[in-house]
Amino acid sequence: MAQRIGDRLPADLAALFDGTSSDLHVAYPLVTVDEAGTPRFSMLSAGELLATGDRAIRIAMWPNTRTGVNLASGREALLCVVVPGSVRYVRGNAVRLVAPPAAALECFELAVSSVESDSHEGMPVTRPITFDVVDPSPAEVLAAWRTQLAALAAATPGTG
């Protein structure tokens, strides 16, 4: 059963999303809710998530996605992060940010309202959901991530 561990990102999660990750394989599920109340699931990478302290995570999305619409609605979202031995659930509501025009991204900031940890000592979670990089090359993906993370860092509050 998940246990509430606070209303701020623990230091290990803030460090995980500090913009320096080069782990091309870990996926972070994000659950949003649509206008009908239906949960919607999307997968993010470390190149689309940027912690700006322990109370907020910025999210980069391709334009015109269902997830972007759901985040813009202000309804609660849930980010799942697998760390050795547990799954962490970061809950919060997002606001739209104005991305630099050249970014061609929709940017949001998830205000952290709750963090929970779900661990099972007898049957610990050992690995996160992963994906493989096939095309483009890993170097191209990392370059794209640097560009996206710079756009997230430069995004400003507003209605973008």
Each residue of 41-72: pLDDT tens digit?
Answer: 999 999 999 999 999 999 999 999 999 999 99
Amino acid at 54: D
| pLDDT recorded at residue 159 | 59
| 116 close to 156: Cβ distance less than 8 angstroms | no
12-44 residue pLDDT tens: 999 999 999 888 899 999 999 999 999 999 999
CA distance 28 to 41: 10
pLDDT score of 105 more than 60: yes
**Total-model pTM:** 0.92
Q: Are strands 106-119 and 3-6 parallel, antiparallel or unpaired?
A: antiparallel
DSSP 8-state symbol, 48: G
Task: Name residue 154's amino acid.
Answer: A
| Spatial CA neighbour of 105 closest among 139, 153, 137 | 153
C-alpha 32/C-alpha 95 separation (Å) is 13
Q: How far apart are CA 133 and CA 117, in angstroms?
A: 29
* Res. 160 pLDDT band, cuts 50 70 90: low
Helix runs in 21-158, H state only: 66-72, 138-154
